[in-house]
Amino acid sequence: MKTWQGEDTHRPPSSPTMPWPLLPLLLLLLLLLAASGAQTTRPCFPGCQCEVETFGLFDSFSLTRVDCSGLGPHIVPVPIPLDTAHLDLSSNRLETVNESVLAGPGYTTLSGLDLSHNLLTSLSPTAFSRLRYLESLDLSHNGLAALPAESFTSSPLSDVNLSHNRLREVSVSAFATHSQGRALHLDLSHNLLHRLLPHSSQAGRPAPTIQSLNLAWNRLRAMPDLRGLPLRYLSLDGNPLAAIGPGTFEGLAGLTHLSLGNLQGLPRLAPHGFHELQGLQVLDLSSNPRLQWAGPEVFSGLGSLQELDLSGTGLVPLPEKLLVHLPALQSISVGQGVQCRRLVREGTYPRQPGFTPKVALHCIDTQELGARGSNTL
């Protein structure tokens, strides 16, 4: 039957269609869900927990994180899934780790291993020899007193944590990893180090690619020989360094961050002591109450320095000629909550021939400002 407009009233209603502008948004949402990792649990060795992270379109790729912490020394060797990326064996009272403990299906593809908070006093030279993809290794909070010479040569490590052990002497060459140029972040803080042996080129291996080195809270009385390392960050906080003078930082021109806070004993800064650090951007000398001025020439050569922390030191008041030696300096911390910033006074216009802008430090007590309700300097 036709209506007066000629329309067929018996035709079935058409199915609803999605407005075309919403289609790209829906497709984008599906792609984001497919790309992000979704976590699920899976059957695991008794006492352990296995979390699976899936990636890719239709969850085509998965990695497993296995947590076997706090179960006791009987846990090793523990079987793990073939796609395990990270294994946590911390807090198990383990007394030894050798090649047999870290062997079997799933271990060869590990990228992260946590052995912290155990009772390890030594390592087998071949303990990690089969972990050809290991990038992160945590051995902190153990009782390690020595490191075998080639402990890490088989793995492409980029992060090694050896803090809170009992290491007294370590060779830099021990960290010549199979990294193929990848930067290594090394934490040796809170040990008993009184000596750090320099890398020996006679070993036939290139120098370790250590870019970040934490030597805080050890027993170093002199600056260790770190020449040949591509260091960018170095912390020597809490060490009993006796003096810092010319040549102390020889070979570390690429260093950008240096921390010398809480130095034990009576540290002495000699003129031109930082002269080799021409690329240094941040220098922390905080919490050294007995540190005294030896003249503004102490900071000569630091042409790239932007931040200087002198809070908790005896280096106040600041000498007038300080900024002459620090042309790039932007801020100085000189006390608890006291921040000084570089201020350039341009003078009047038009400028007179030969005019040089005046540069000074403008200091503000940020705590006092906060009490007044101000959020800006």
Query: Which pair of structure tokens corresponds to residue 346?
Result: 């341009």
Question: Is the pLDDT reported for residue 175 higher than 80?
Answer: yes
Element (H, E) at 27: helix 22-35
Question: Is the pLDDT reported for residue 57 higher than 70?
Answer: no
pLDDT digits (tens, 9 = 90+) for 182-228: 899 999 999 999 999 998 776 567 789 999 999 999 999 999 999 98
Element (H, E) at 112: strand 112-114
Report which of residues 37 and 371 the model is more confident about.
371
With CA atoms as reference, report the closest residue to 279 among 303, 258, 299, 260: 303
Residue 367's pLDDT is 61
| pLDDT confidence band for 51 (50 / 70 / 90) | very high
| pLDDT confidence band for 164 (50 / 70 / 90) | very high
pLDDT digits (tens, 9 = 90+) for 120-154: 999 999 999 999 999 999 999 999 999 988 889 88
Question: Is the pLDDT reported for residue 45 higher than 50?
Answer: yes
- Residue 138 identity (one-letter amino acid): D
Q: Find which of 17-21, 82-86, 293-297 is predicted with most confidence, using mean pLDDT.
A: 82-86
The phi, psi pair for 189, rounded to 5°, reads -70, 160
Q: Percentage of the chain surpassing pLDDT 70? A: 78
pLDDT digits (tens, 9 = 90+) for 70-97: 999 999 999 999 999 999 999 999 999 9
pLDDT digits (tens, 9 = 90+) for 264-279: 876 788 889 999 999 9
Q: What is 323-370 written as a DSSP string?
A: HHH-TT--EEEEETTEEEEEEEE--SSSPPTT---EEEEEEEEHHHHH
Task: Give burial (CB, 10 Å; 0-12/13-18/19+) of 122.
Answer: middle
Report which of residues 363 and 214 the model is more confident about.
214
| pLDDT confidence band for 27 (50 / 70 / 90) | low
The phi, psi pair for 138, rounded to 5°, reads -115, 110
What's the mean pLDDT in 242-253? 90
Question: Is the pLDDT reported for residue 101 higher than 70?
Answer: yes
Residue 274's pLDDT is 94
Contact of 176 with 151, CB cutoff 8 Å: no
Among 72-81, 208-217, 324-333, 351-360, where is mean pLDDT lowest? 351-360
* Residue linked to tokens 């042409």: 303
**Distance from C-alpha of 369 to C-alpha of 357, rounded to nearest angstrom:** 28
Among 196-200, 316-320, 331-335, where is mean pLDDT lowest? 316-320
What's the mean pLDDT in 172-182? 82
Report which of residues 255 and 345 the model is more confident about.
255
What's the mean pLDDT in 54-62? 61
Report which of residues 191 and 322 the model is more confident about.
191
Give the pairing of strands 38-41 and 49-55. Answer: antiparallel
